[in-house]
A and B are shown apart, each in its own frame.
Chain A
Amino acid sequence: MLRPKPRLTALAAALLFLSALFAAPRPAAAGLSAREIMEHVDARDDGDNVTLQTEMVLIDKNGHQRERQIRAFMKDKGRDTWRIQFFVSPADVKDTGFLTYDYYSGEKDDDQWLYLPELHKTKRIASADKSSAFMGSDFSYADMNRRVLDEWTYKLLKEDEVDGHRVWLIETVPVNKTVEERYGYTKSVVFVRQDIFFPVRAVHWVKEGDRIKYMEVKKLEQIDGIWVATETQMRTTKNRQTQHSTILRWHDIRFNQEIDDELFTVRRLEKGL
């Protein structure tokens, strides 16, 4: 059976959703509505012209691990994002490349191309929504991207504490079936750190198969004044059993690099790193 089709968006895009930020920590604003809190989250500077190394650890239910190293480049185009990523390891997929144009608007399908070095072929992968797995991980393409604010309704559930920081628990629900279909979640609860408007945890109710996904930021760092989740875990559970989990680690994050538009082309994809 098919999962809703993916868009091959760039890994680094995760930064947008996970680590968009205000340069300076703001005091917890009392009396903010849920929507206002999410506006602050959405409005954070998430940096631009980024280069980074990604380490992706895939852990199956038996505890077996697979590791992938990926080199990624990312550039904002208005609210859209261009990304290009190359596998560094494992050896058997080295130099395999992905090029993606992620469109902020949910109505427009993302464009993605995959380059297979062994075949010397690039194929465009036609796709329709954001809910499918990102590179076989527990993150969906949607998880790696910023959500469109107006596509969700928000409710402040309560305040709590995570690792000594005050957080808001905000419930987000898709405004309609189309959005629900696109993201594959019937509901999410996001834990937003009050001091920096950073979502450090999230729980997603997956539409298909009664699964619950847990996102947890394991390591949060400030790089060039920008808050970045440098280690994030997503685990997919069913009946309280972890079925699969993924750890994403970011290294060598550099913002505001000189990145030419020309990097984000099929020609460049085929040329490799």
Chain B
Amino acid sequence: MGTFKMKIEQGFESFTARIVRFRWPVLALMLLLAVASAAQLPKLTIDMSDEGFLHPEDPILQVYNDFRDQFGRDDMIVLAVESDAVFSQPFLEKLKKLHTALEEKVPHLDELTSMVNARNTTGMADAIVVEDLLERWPESEAELGALRERVMANPLYRDRLISADGRFTTLVLQTDVYAAMEKSDEEILAGFDDLAPLGEEDGPGEPAARPRLLNDMERGRIVMTVNQVIAQFQADDFRIHLAGSPVVTSAVKKTMREDMMRFIRIAVLVIGVSLFLLFRRLSAVVYPLLVVALSLVSTLAVMARLGVAIKMPTMILPSFLLAVGVGDSVHVLALFFQNFNKSGDKRQALVAAMGHSGLAIVMTSLTTAAGLFSFFKAEIAPVADLGIFAAFGVLLALVYTVVFLPALLAATPLRVGKNAGSTEITTGPMARFLDRTTDFATGHSGKIIALWCVLLLAGVLGIFRLGFSHNILAWLPDTRPVKAATAAIDHNLNGSVTMELVLDTGRENGLHDPDILNRMERFAEALTVEDGWSIEAGKVMSVVDVIKEIHQALNENRPEFYAIPQEAALVPQEFLLFENSGSDDLEDVVDSRFQLARLTIKAPWQDAMRYVPFIEQVEAKSREIFGLRVQVTATGIMPLFGRIIFAAIHSAAQSYLIAFGVITVMMILLIGSVRLGLVCMLPNLAPIVIVLGFMGWVGIPLDMFTMLIGSIAIGIAVDDTIHFVYNFRRYFAESGDATDAVRRTLATAGRAMLTTTLVLAAGFFIFMFASMQNLYNFGLLTGIALILALAADFLLAPALMTVTAASSAGRGELLNR
């Protein structure tokens, strides 16, 4: 190990000497890289779509896409207009204007439903009228009254079109699934030849190219336009609440982007100030920032080049890389300025600094990267991206630090300073603090170990109390209007989001069977009336509502006929009547073969994780009601999330194990002793267990962001431990006295550990400036984990070393080789 280490040190020295000699070509290369990377950046895309969370090949996504192909989008934009005079001439006129404005202005609109055009089926003695609700405009007070009566009495409209108290009416927007392909008339006219023949012989002989799903920008524009239109109509007697999952996603996206920009500014500021305080030189501020900025830009350029979009979790990448990447520079600069201030020989100082710290920064970067990379298989696609590209960025920061930082320092004139950045200062508050820490850690090793054991135990117990969550609405600050709007709509209209079930009867015309329709009705009733569901269904909609409506209209609108016709022969004839009545609404609820039925469950906004048990409950209930005759598949954006995040958090445990395993092996290799390596992992494991336990005790759930903490923290925390053990063994070999070795270790490496940890923790505490709750938690907890890790290295590690050194076996291993 010793010669191996020496060889590496020599390698770094000669490498750095070469960098210094060829500093100008190296800087030219750096400039080239910067330009080439920057040129890629315009290609970088942002994708905050719901599907963006999933790997494209995820089977759950396939089910969802099939559903949307059949029935259209499930995630509606819901506008609820609140007024005390909904059934008045001015209100209805304004509603119609709003309806028209939305219809004209909102892009990619597939369907818009409001009181203006809701299906209104009326049966009379000899005729059936199916028309838009406001087709015949109510002229008099009497007609307005009749309209009110009709709307309030219609069970189809309740909670869907109008609230139970008649004070809220909705406009529901359904957008396109796919982007419209702009085609010239010429191309459209050629369509006879392009379209694959479709007939008996070749069935679904569609052209292979699938149209493109609406992208993030297009969806963003939809919500933006809706907001613009609403702004013109908003009034005291016409209060518009806007909700629905596209609106929530859009708000999250906007808030997150604002947060992100703020983080980058603050990160640069915090790092800059820290570097200045530490080194008191402009060059020590600018150069490391240049190096990490270049690493960040290059990483983003690679993402752009590979077509990997920035998604919600990867948004933390920029400020994260800035903070983590700067650590390498700190170590190099600390040694460099110490040598340089002493000798004034820049080249010699650089070579010595790199030779001395090269291996350490390589090892610490590798452990950090390993911690991040452990997410590469995460089931949430952008979390996997984050793992891969953050690890890549950290390694890039290492390479750039080793190559460009010396070149920059060599190429520019530097003045010789006095002591700044020295690691051998023996006076001052920091030295006194480190000295006292040494006394305490070595003097009370037994108590310290016992205390950490207690904390560890509490942590383990807390972990069992950890909850899971995915609730993007809860992430938003209360000031976002969508929060109040969602609450208002959930409260007054029994829900703002939907979940979808597809019932497969297994045969053509299966839905012509009154028995199946009856069971569907029972199923819907069970969902809304029975207790014990983990999701409270506000309303259930299906083809059953349509057949009841037709049946009633066929029977002169008598309320007792709002029921499923019980004569099997009548059902297909009533459907045929409906098909010919002018409405195409059937295609929204059944497939054309009447084999599949869509059952839409409208529910208040809830944590997506609650859909996981709900789906199981629904499946059990459907087996109870339908037996094996009908197969039920659950889909829709909300349950989709629940299932994915649920699976992902479980796979996070796997990531933790990978990270811990890989880093332990690296530690053992570095130390050259299995036992000692394992002992050294204790100060790394403890902070994470304690933080996770803390989350369990105070009720902060594991979500897409907090689940990252463990692997990130262990990758970073282990750096300090490596520095500690590395130095401790060197000094212990010299003196053979554990206390002395700890004192000298803390006095030298301890300073760098303290400063880098403070900078890094600050880098994470920056996230506490977020307006979003999830980022706040993420930053706070990761920062705490890092500080705890430092505390473990300052207290637990010395205590463990003292105890180990006290036994002869341990002493042997410490001195080994």
Contacts and interface: CB of A to CB of B under 8 A. Distances in A.
B190 to A, nearest CB: 10
A6 B582 contact: yes
B199 A247 contact: yes
A118 B211 contact: no
Contacts of A1: 111-113, 117-119, 583-585
Interface stretch (A23-31, A61-69, A253-261): A61-69
Interface residues on A, range: 35 or more
Interface stretch (A38-46, A90-98, A146-154, A172-180): A90-98
Contact of B188 (A64, A132, A212): A212
Given A127-B582, A216-B192, 7 more contacts: A1-B585, A62-B203, A63-B198, A96-B576, A133-B584, A233-B199, A239-B211
B580 A119 contact: no
A240 B132 CA distance: 30
Contacts of B178: 238-239
A124 B129 CA distance: 8
Interface string B124-146: 00111111100100000000000
B681 interface: no
Interface string B88-123: 000000000000000000000011110001110001
Given A2-B132, A64-B592, A66-B592, A240 B191 contact: yes
10 contacts: A59-B199, A64-B593, A92-B509, A93-B573, A117-B573, A124-B128, A125-B128, A127-B582, A189-B189, A239-B211
Contacts of B591: 60, 62, 64
A240 B194 CA distance: 9
A12 interface: no
Contacts of B573: 92-93, 96, 116-119
B69 interface: yes
A238 B579 CA distance: 21
Given A65-B200, A118-B569, A209-B110, A203 B579 contact: no
The SS class assigned to the A binding surface is strand
A260 to B, nearest CB: 24
Interface in B164-183: 176, 178-181, 183
Interface string B373-413: 00000000000000000000000000000000000000000
Contacts of B582: 2-6, 125, 127, 132
A98 B577 CA distance: 10
Nearest to A4: B582
Nearest to A57: B200
Interface string B568-606: 011011101101111111000001110000000000000
B84 interface: no
A114 interface: yes
Nearest to A215: B192
A119 B189 contact: no
A244 B189 contact: no
A78 interface: no
A61 B195 contact: no
A265 B475 CA distance: 66
A55 B453 CA distance: 82
A238 B127 CA distance: 35
Nearest to B512: A92
Contacts of A65: 200
Interface string A168-200: 010000000000000000000100000000000
Contacts of B209: 240
B258 interface: no
Nearest to A87: B576
Interface in A236-252: 237-242, 244-245, 247
Interface in B216-235: none
B584 A63 contact: no
A42 to B, nearest CB: 22
Contacts of B509: 92
B345 interface: no
Contacts of A240: 181, 183, 191, 194-195, 207, 209, 211
Contact of A118 (B179, B189, B191, B570): B570
B478 interface: no
A210 interface: yes
A58 interface: yes
Contacts of A61: 69, 204, 206
The 4 A-B pairs with the shortest beta carbon distances in the complex, nearest first, are A63-B203, A63-B204, A5-B582, A92-B572
A267 interface: no
Contacts of B205: 63
B567 interface: yes
A180 to B, nearest CB: 15
Contacts of B200: 57, 65
B207 A92 contact: no
Nearest to A189: B189
Contacts of B132: 2
A116 B657 CA distance: 68
A63 B585 CA distance: 21
A133 B110 CA distance: 18
A118 B181 contact: no
Interface in B705-753: none
Given A60-B591, A201-B192, A214-B191, A93 B583 contact: no
Given A59-B199, A92-B509, A119 B579 contact: no
Contacts of A98: 580
A128 interface: yes
A50 interface: no
B572 A136 contact: no
Nearest to A68: B576
Contact of B554 (A62, A96, A119, A209): A119
Interface in A85-118: 90, 92-93, 96, 98, 114, 116-118
Contacts of A235: 195, 198
A77 interface: no
Contacts of A79: none
B130 A123 contact: no
Contact of A125 (B198, B203, B567, B580): B580
B579 A135 contact: yes
Given A126-B128, A135-B579, A116 B554 contact: yes
A71 B191 CA distance: 33
A237 B210 CA distance: 13
A241 B189 contact: no
A64 B593 CA distance: 7
Contacts of B135: 128
A132 B117 CA distance: 15
Contact of A60 (B176, B567, B592): B592
B198 A59 contact: yes
A142 interface: no
A8 interface: yes
Contacts of A128: 131, 135
Contacts of B210: 241
Nearest to B133: A2
Given A2-B131, A63-B204, A209-B110, A237 B191 contact: yes
A98 to B, nearest CB: 7
Contacts of B512: 92
Contact of A212 (B126, B191, B574, B580): B191
A212 B192 CA distance: 11
B131 to A, nearest CB: 6
A114 B126 CA distance: 10
Contact of A66 (B183, B192, B593): B593
A31 to B, nearest CB: 23
A83 B584 CA distance: 24
Nearest to A247: B199
Contact of A114 (B110, B111, B112, B577): B577
A62 B204 contact: yes
Contacts of A238: 178
Contacts of A93: 572-573, 576
B127 A5 contact: no
Contacts of B189: 169, 189, 203
A18 B583 CA distance: 26
A126 B120 CA distance: 12
